[in-house]
Structure 1
Amino acid sequence: MSGVGKVLLIVGGGIAAYKSCELVRLIRKAGGSVTCVLTEGGAKFVTPMTLAALSENPVHTTLWDLKNEAEMGHIQLSREADLVVVCPATADLLAKMAAGVADDMATTLLLATDKPVLAVPAMNVKMWQHPATRRNVAQLRDDGVTVMEPDEGPMACGEFGPGRLPEPETVLAAIANFGGGDPLVGQPDFAAEKHRPLYGKHVLVTAGPTHEPIDPVRYIANRSSGKQGFAIAAAAAQAGARVTLVAGPVQLETPAGVDRFDVESAREMLAAVEAALPADVAVMVAAVADWRAADLAEQKIKKDSSGEVPPLALAENPDILATLAKSPQRPGLLIGFAAETENVVAHATAKRARKGADWIVANDVSGDVMGGDANTVHIVTAVGSEDWPAMPKAQVARALIERIGQEIETGN
């Protein structure tokens, strides 16, 4: 498999532990091997027998196995793997990892290993957002541990927000980004730096909406969550690129290895994009408001008793994609996004020609795509269109970055 031949999987104690079983199956299907370490908490949700049957390897649960520990088995385990994966990584496990605690099999292995470590968090939204957890995650990243961002959505506890364990397919793709091994079936090979498809390239990404003020308290905006653009920025960084992300007002964590610049309005976004040039690739994902208020009210506009609706004159915002297409510093590959509610491919084809982009990534937003976790896209180029199946946004991002890498490699 791309990146990793031997995975040491540490299963933490949380309801999301059941997904570790599917992760074991997917790693095996991709050609990798898995040895599982089950924490005391993890054993409350999945059994050693289940993991042993799926991995076809013994499952380790304790340091006090006299036969193995006579040979320092926990040290051997920590050194034999190509990658150590902690999934799910609970708040407790992350805290112990950050503090260097070694009070059971899992934490002792983590302290003893000289191999890369990938932590996949899963916990309640308030636990994930707690300052202590944020400090622990920052410390782990400073220590060289790769900590994935959790998914956002409804949780087993009934609350909603970031903290859900990413789907096993997403975790598998993250595993594929580490060095060594043979190519992973169906996934881009982002292994060693020299083999990363965008290594040495500068990729510019815009994401999220823009807010165009009407008065000090009101604004015009689109419904974009920014998730797709942030996922593309993350995938580009994992593919070896230097990534500049210009983000509208969203509540998302900055992906690892990405330089982020926050803006509010379309004109601010254009200025930040132009300041980031030159770039080899630009992916304009942001849902930029087409119009802004022609005259910004200095005070909040008040209703009166007349029932008259105050007029709102609009002015057209700058077209960032078309401006880039005409720029002397035009990126070598310029990609726009088209959010459509009907005739998706036809509108995207016209938009590509009108704005001078190389590709348009078109998606149907008539459902719950904006703010949701999945997307169905069509890649419209000069030679036609490619229809992709519905996928999680992170998977769309990886597939798009792989497609961009292929385009750059062929020199088109």
Structure 2
Amino acid sequence: MAEYKFPGVYVEETLGLGVSVASGETAVPVFLGDFGDAVDSVAPLRSWLEFTELGDTLTASVFAAVLRGYFANGGSRCYLANTAGRSLDDTLAAVQGYSDITVLLAPGLWDEGEKQAGEWARALAGYAASHRAMAILHADRAHTPAQASAAVDGWGLEEEARSHTAVYHPWVRQSGTGEEVVVPPSGILAGVWARTDRERGVWKAPANVVLAGVSGLEYRASDQEQGDNRSLNFLRDFTGQGLVVWGARTLAADEGITWRYIPVRRLVDAVYRDIATALQILVFEPNAQPTWEKARAAVDGYLHSLWRMGALMGTKPEEAYFVQVGKDITMTQDDLDHGRLIVKTGLAVVRPAEFIMLEHTIELAQG
């Protein structure tokens, strides 16, 4: 600040409102299940050591093996959501208070049979779709690939929910504790997603990754079985490679190319969340050209950085993305009269010639 030595009128120029878009965390999972008295509603968890401090009852449960696999394969910060004494709807309502959660898992998905598995799958997938998150689900332990596909089809997920859901098969034999335990693969995959995002980026497929702490598979699928069940993501045992993740598709794999692949769905959702968060600073700003330019420049800078990191297709920025904002471009006079600031972006995440469209509407306060 300038030093004023005598009375008078001083004019000091300051920088205007700055807008920037930062990349948020992309792989923060919540594990839903009956944690008894060890967890009160929703609790954060930062490490395996923290989990062991929750008590002997939990450390001897299947959740312990699932969480061990999660942390062993690259997982870090996560949440536990307790369903003990409350409905699944109430549990998901509590989860809604944590906006950083981007992945949902239910290790006990099949504990009460096929009917409950379907109810939980629909609830988790629906929540994921409405919150731009993902549900990592799994087939039952005894399922063959054909049975797993039939069970998943029986869930009756809506199209949008299918694009926000990935299903893995088979269950795994987990080692490292002195004895083998058989666990669903979802926790391990959540760890793989977290590690892949951290090391390569959310746009990298979480596949062709060697699994840690896994000694075997409960079912060895063939190439033919994988080809016949394209909505499932398989864990495979290849000679010379070991146990690897061999698939990166959503349940929308058979419904067109747009949302077929996990990294496409997750990248677009991450971009939407990041831009929406950043543009909140513009609430109460005048809905006029200077504000529009701040929004455009911030989003352009963010997408340009993603393109330079290899997240978007194209040999030059205009082939990779576009940003639009302005009267008679993204907004009508009615939008302006009602305080709506609309920013449209297009991302070439599938092929250079195809753009996935996003639209952000910010409600600006009216005087």
- Range into which the TM-score falls when normalised by the shorter chain: 0.3 to 0.5
TM-score w.r.t. the length of structure 1 is 0.31
Q: Relative contact order (alpha carbons < 8 A, sep ≥ 6): 1 or 2 greater? A: 2
TM-score w.r.t. the length of structure 2 is 0.34
